[in-house]
Structure 1
């Protein structure tokens, strides 16, 4: 009986399947790179080029490579743009800290203190505010905190509250509304990080450390830092560039860089100034994020992917 060696016979489709597997990572990388180029790099370069133009809306704008506009914007002149930028960063940082203080206990409670059947309803309550328009939510807070609203009216009834006490138009109103609007962006990443903690680690930690505070500080908090850092990125970037909260809830003393960009573009039609301010804001946020990555690293964010 004759045996036939089939090892040298090519299998149909084997080469094509192997080539597809090798090409798959490059195709996926190309899609991601194209997404970043179209939605990030192209707008960034376009904004930079617009900022270097000179002209006016009637006669049009021409690219003259006017780098002096950044010196003029930073110097400020009659408009203190640097003050607006610093105020926006301060508001964003304060709101971020408040979302951590409020959001971490909420995420901890949902992850460890309730049964499985109640986790989804509680997470839905965290997300339910997004079913209402962003602007409508802010206007509702404006009604509640207005001088004739229920909150201030109730406070004025107390003997130790002065008659001129108000919240609307202050930094507290702006920061408080930012905290409310972005709270879910902090709760959800922290909850995901807490859910990934192996329960056996808590059991072992209780055997080693005993006290709940020691278990939390030595085990739970370090293992959930990926969620905290991700939440910081989401909340801080959103709050630092937001012009709506300060415009509706604030006053003349709460103007931020986002409002200045909006005014320069829509009201004054100074498109080059608006583009320069946007570029400065993006550079400032980029420096902060770069410093964040250098200090804390990016592995913490990758843990949630």
Structure 2
């Protein structure tokens, strides 16, 4: 009997490659296999990726610490923290400062709308994805196709469609008049803005939730019922646990873009719902205060970074816990 460490034991793939055919990489001590490209070939792609991703972010962050010119737009290349101070303080003509919570209220409005949108999308997408995962494979593919149909049209077109639905002569008010409730002011309200946000980001919540539940073995649910578990216990300890990675991904995909949304508050809210996206656009356009607009954009970047890191950490933990059920 030949031992595992004997002469005929399997050698790793790198040991089978002749020494003359192996090349060393400048970034790693591991040899490059014949026919494979070295790491140097990825350098142009990495440079272009960093230039078009971190480049604009760096410009925005740098502009937020610049000074505003006396007239016109643009920035003066002189370090200043006035843009961030303006978020909290307001200065009168005499140079006196006092607390100003107007911009904090805009942040709170954006946070509230993003939270309501995210929670609503998570609740709706969970039951939709659970129902989809219980269908036959062919039906599941059809349902996934139907979920992606909104992506086939432009966001502005979809938002204008909701304007037609919610206006005074739209089908919703026609239905209300038919049942004797009279017309309601549905368009140009915060509720209309929320409807637009939920409609926009609901597919982004359904797809990761369905991805998490589609591979779930529902025989575990049957086994739990056979062992005497109640429905609420099965839902909480088995199904929700399996869907947790999808929940974390859906939170990141809904909350982060909803926090800085621009189209829905403008078109459906009629400008009455002021969110961070609208405020940033007005600072770069009408007010021509580029440093302050850049400071608001930096705040959104920080919120996005924090949420992304939290989603990565929580998503990893949720995936490991959900993997124990598979």
TM range (shorter): 0.7 to 0.9
**TM-score, normalized by length of structure 2?**
0.78
Q: Which residue of 1 aligns with 2:59?
A: 46
Q: Distance in 2 between matches of 1:279 and 1:206?
A: 51
- Secondary structure of the 1:169 match is coil
Once the two structures are TM-superposed, the CA of residue 32 in structure 1 deviates from its matched residue by 9.2
Q: Distance in 2 between matches of 1:31 and 1:303?
A: 39
Q: Which residue of 2 aligns with 1:15?
A: 22
Residues 126 and 291 of structure 1: is their aligned pair in 2 closer, same or farther, counting only changes over 3 Å? closer
Q: Distance in 1 between matches of 2:239 and 2:38?
A: 35
Q: Which residue of 2 aligns with 1:219?
A: 238
Q: Which residue of 1 aligns with 2:159?
A: 138
Q: Distance in 1 between matches of 2:254 and 2:73?
A: 40
Q: Tell me, yes or no, if the aligned pair for 2:66 and 2:81 is still in contact at 8 Å.
A: no
- Secondary structure of the 1:63 match is coil
**Gapped regions of structure 1 (runs ≥ 5):** 1-9
Q: Tell me, yes or no, if the aligned pair for 1:185 and 1:234 is still in contact at 8 Å.
A: yes
Q: Tell me, yes or no, if the aligned pair for 1:110 and 1:119 is still in contact at 8 Å.
A: yes
Q: Tell me, yes or no, if the aligned pair for 1:56 and 1:270 is still in contact at 8 Å.
A: no
Q: Distance in 1 between matches of 2:164 and 2:205?
A: 26
Q: Which residue of 2 aligns with 1:169?
A: 188
Q: Distance in 2 between matches of 1:124 and 1:303?
A: 29
- Secondary structure of the 1:65 match is coil
- Secondary structure of the 1:148 match is coil
Q: Distance in 1 between matches of 2:47 and 2:316?
A: 22
Q: Which residue of 1 aligns with 2:130?
A: 108
Structure 2 counterpart of 1:206, from 195, 200, 225: 225
Q: Distance in 2 between matches of 1:239 and 1:27?
A: 39
Q: Tell me, yes or no, if the aligned pair for 1:230 and 1:301 is still in contact at 8 Å.
A: no
Root-mean-square deviation (CA, aligned residues, Å) is 3.3
Residues 254 and 25 of structure 1: is their aligned pair in 2 closer, same or farther, counting only changes over 3 Å? farther
Q: Distance in 2 between matches of 1:265 and 1:198?
A: 52
> Which structure has more helix as a fraction of its residues?
1
Residues 155 and 56 of structure 1: is their aligned pair in 2 closer, same or farther, counting only changes over 3 Å? farther
Q: Which residue of 1 aligns with 2:172?
A: 151
Q: Tell me, yes or no, if the aligned pair for 2:64 and 2:291 is still in contact at 8 Å.
A: yes
Asked whether 1:261 is paired with 2:280, we answer yes
Q: Tell me, yes or no, if the aligned pair for 1:139 and 1:248 is still in contact at 8 Å.
A: yes
Residues 58 and 256 of structure 1: is their aligned pair in 2 closer, same or farther, counting only changes over 3 Å? closer
Greater RCO structure (CA 8 Å; 6+ sep): 1
Structure 2 counterpart of 1:126, from 144, 147, 150: 147
- Secondary structure of the 1:62 match is coil
**TM-score, normalized by length of structure 1?**
0.83
Q: Which residue of 2 aligns with 1:240?
A: 259
Structure 2 counterpart of 1:89, from 100, 108, 111: 111
Q: Distance in 1 between matches of 2:228 and 2:43?
A: 49
Q: Tell me, yes or no, if the aligned pair for 2:252 and 2:307 is still in contact at 8 Å.
A: no
- Secondary structure of the 1:98 match is helix
Asked whether 1:192 is paired with 2:214, we answer no
Residues 48 and 211 of structure 1: is their aligned pair in 2 closer, same or farther, counting only changes over 3 Å? same
Q: Distance in 1 between matches of 2:121 and 2:64?
A: 35
